[in-house]
Structure 1
Amino acid sequence: MKKFIIPLMLMLSVPFFSQISVGTNSQDNNRWTFGGGIGVGFGSQSTFYLQASPRVGYRLTDDLEVGIVGSVSWQTSDYYRSTMFGVGPFANYYFARSFYVGANLQHYFINFKDRYYDYKVNEEETALYLGGGYMQRIGNNSFMQIGLMYNVLWKEDTSVFSSGLIPNIGFVVGL
């Protein structure tokens, strides 16, 4: 059941998730970027989901950015409660100012409690997300990103996630 509920809540919160990187124009000497995202979800059986993912990056070139991203999520319902923390490096390559490809390695620490069966799980899982997508300019140096990422380390029988495919929608400022 946990393999179904946790990823379902992650997928339902995608429309509410946004990623904002605040940086400087390419002409400036400051290449640091800061940002993050937030997700909120609601569902049946008093389900509530809250997620935040701060990040800090450094533009090695105008098109290549590397950094560290963290994530924390909290989910609760009438039947379960879970928390999940993740941290790891990321890299994004932007080309033609309309497309991007990226990689994100996350190591997750998962705490899950089923209230109905009094079942508890403390697990760790590593995910390597690879993917890319389209970027649409929405401002001077602001872009909306729409893409897909796939966890190449995902295994159906052992993962706490129900799928390796993750759609993403985000906003980036400062590219």
Structure 2
Amino acid sequence: MKKFIIPVMLMFSGSVFSQVSVGTSGQENNKWTFGGGIGLGFGSNSAFYLQASPRVGYRLTNDLEGGVVGSVSWQTSDYYRSTMFGVGPFMNYYFARSFYLGANLQHYFINYKDKYYDYKFNKEETALYLGGGYMQRIGNNSFMQIGVMYNVLWKEDSSIFSSGLIPNIGFVVGL
């Protein structure tokens, strides 16, 4: 079970923290940001993974942004089928236009079915991701983010996820 979670979380982390914010430097009154990420994966045994993570935020100051992020993922293979929904608030603090600190609280609803053993379970889990990283400017209002987040609520013996550490690469437009 946990062996399939590691690649899923790596794909999930890259897309959940990928952000596209709408806004232009000429419109300082527009403090709303919108965006999200999409993940797609294929593997052995007819494995298929699809994930989407929409988000909406509000710039409280030029350097502080808060909002809500959601996620939905669907996975299937010859041996299992799983759906996972998540929702929660996030907060990002940007400093020196090259670094960021972030917090993201997600509550997940997981539905899993093992096709081989005909085993099913439904579970809920909460994750509090804290972390940060480096931002590289790639355009006028565009940045690439490279960082790492850690789920401070993760427990090895009771979590559906195989690790609390989540590397992330994402993009932000409009900061």
1:9 alignment partner in structure 2: 8
Measure how far apart 1:43 and its partner are: 1.0
Does structure 2 conserve the Cα–Cα contact (< 8 Å) formed by 1:16 and 1:40?
no
For residue 168 of structure 2, what is the amino acid of its counterpart? Answer: N
1:130 alignment partner in structure 2: 130
TM superposition score normalised by structure 1: 0.94
Structure 2: gaps of 5 or more residues? none
- 1:44-83 per-residue CA deviation (whole Å, 9 max, x = no partner) reads 1111111100000000000000000000000000100000
Measure how far apart 1:14 and its partner are: 5.3
TM superposition score normalised by structure 2: 0.94
Runs of at least 4 residues off by over 3 Å: 12-18
2:72 alignment partner in structure 1: 72
Q: For residues 169 and 115 of structure 2, what CA distance do their matches in structure 1 show?
A: 32
**Number of residue pairs the alignment of both structures matches:** 174
For residue 164 of structure 1, what is the amino acid of its counterpart? Answer: G
> CA separation of 1:26/1:166 partners in 2, compared to 1, >3 Å: closer, same or farther?
farther
For residue 5 of structure 2, what is the amino acid of its counterpart? Answer: I
Which aligned pairs between 1:24-39 and structure 2 lie closer than 5 A?
A: 24-25=24-25, 28-39=28-39
Which aligned pairs between 1:40-51 and structure 2 lie closer than 5 A?
A: 40-51=40-51
- 1:8-36 per-residue CA deviation (whole Å, 9 max, x = no partner) reads 22214656774222223276111000000
Does structure 2 conserve the Cα–Cα contact (< 8 Å) formed by 1:24 and 1:31?
no
Q: For residues 66 and 24 of structure 2, what CA distance do their matches in structure 1 show?
A: 15
2:91 alignment partner in structure 1: 91
